[in-house]
Amino acid sequence: MRLFVAVSLGDMTMKRGVFTMSDVLDPINRRILAELVANARIPVSELAARVGLSKTPVALRIRQMEEMGLITGYRAILSPLRLGLTHVTYVEVKMSDTRQTALDRFNTGVRAIPEVEECYMIAGGFDYLLKVRSRDMTHFRQIMADRISALPFIHATSSYVSMEAVIEQNWMAV
């Protein structure tokens, strides 16, 4: 016996729980997402007018994209500059142990450091890349000495100070 699951998104259909980007992101959904990324607080009525639909289908499309996990939340975006966090440093981290238990302990520890804005596990000449935001070089040195260097299984670090943000985005182009 075969089970067939279908969720309708206008002309789009999900079969067996798998969507392709072209299935979900038709031109209207792309426009809805672009508008929400630019202003997540836009009223549905205004959003509907911008994409050429009435409120009900727009609200339904948003809810369906939320339920599918395409939209994962809405949040306030704070200005680091207005908060006095003008110093950005990227830190390469080389690990002394890359077994899963060591990586898990590092991951747990780095998540507890609020000044680490982003952390990526990297394939290449080092193991992790951190984006650290601080007030100034003195504050960064304190974060390195007290928090980052204390993380488990760190073998070595290299730091790179950002001179200027040429592009800073909090979203992907759809």
Whether 75 maps to a domain, the answer reads no
Domain boundary among 15, 37, 67: 67
- Report the half-sphere exposure of 122 (CA within 13 A, side-chain side): 15
CA distance 102 to 159: 22
The long-range contacts involving 157-164, CB below 8 angstroms and separated by at least 24 positions, are 157/91, 157/92, 157/93, 157/94, 158/91, 158/92, 158/126, 159/89, 159/90, 159/91, 159/92, 160/89, 160/90, 160/91, 160/92, 161/87, 161/88, 161/89, 161/137, 162/88, 162/89, 162/90
User: Which of these, 111, 102, 110, 94, lies nearest to 156 by C-alpha position?
Assistant: 94
Average confidence (pLDDT) over 21-29:
81
pLDDT of residue 101: 98
Q: Are residues 96 and 141 in the same domain?
A: yes
Residue 51, domain extent? 6-67
Q: Are residues 24 and 59 in the same domain?
A: yes
Q: Are residues 93 and 43 in the same domain?
A: no
Q: Are residues 41 and 100 in the same domain?
A: no
Q: How far is residue 145 CA from its own chain's centroid?
A: 27
pLDDT digits (tens, 9 = 90+) for 55-108: 999 999 999 999 999 999 998 888 888 999 999 999 999 999 999 999 999 999
Q: How confident is the model at residue 4 (pLDDT cuts 50, 70, 90)?
A: very low
pLDDT of residue 154: 98
pLDDT of residue 1: 29
Whether 41 maps to a domain, the answer reads yes
Q: Are residues 152 and 95 in the same domain?
A: yes
Q: Are residues 59 and 115 in the same domain?
A: no
CATH number, domain at 34?
Answer: 1.10.10.10
**Residue position matching structure tokens 């339904």:** 60
Domain count, the chain: 2
CATH number, domain at 140?
Answer: 3.30.70.920
DSSP string for 10-52:
TTEEEETTB--HHHH--HHHHHHHHHHHH-TT--HHHHHHHHT
Average confidence (pLDDT) over 160-166:
94
Q: Are residues 59 and 104 in the same domain?
A: no
Q: Are residues 156 and 96 in the same domain?
A: yes
pLDDT of residue 82: 93
Is residue 126 within 8 A of residue 60, CB to CB? The reply is no
Evaluate if pTM is beyond 0.85: no
CA distance 63 to 32: 12
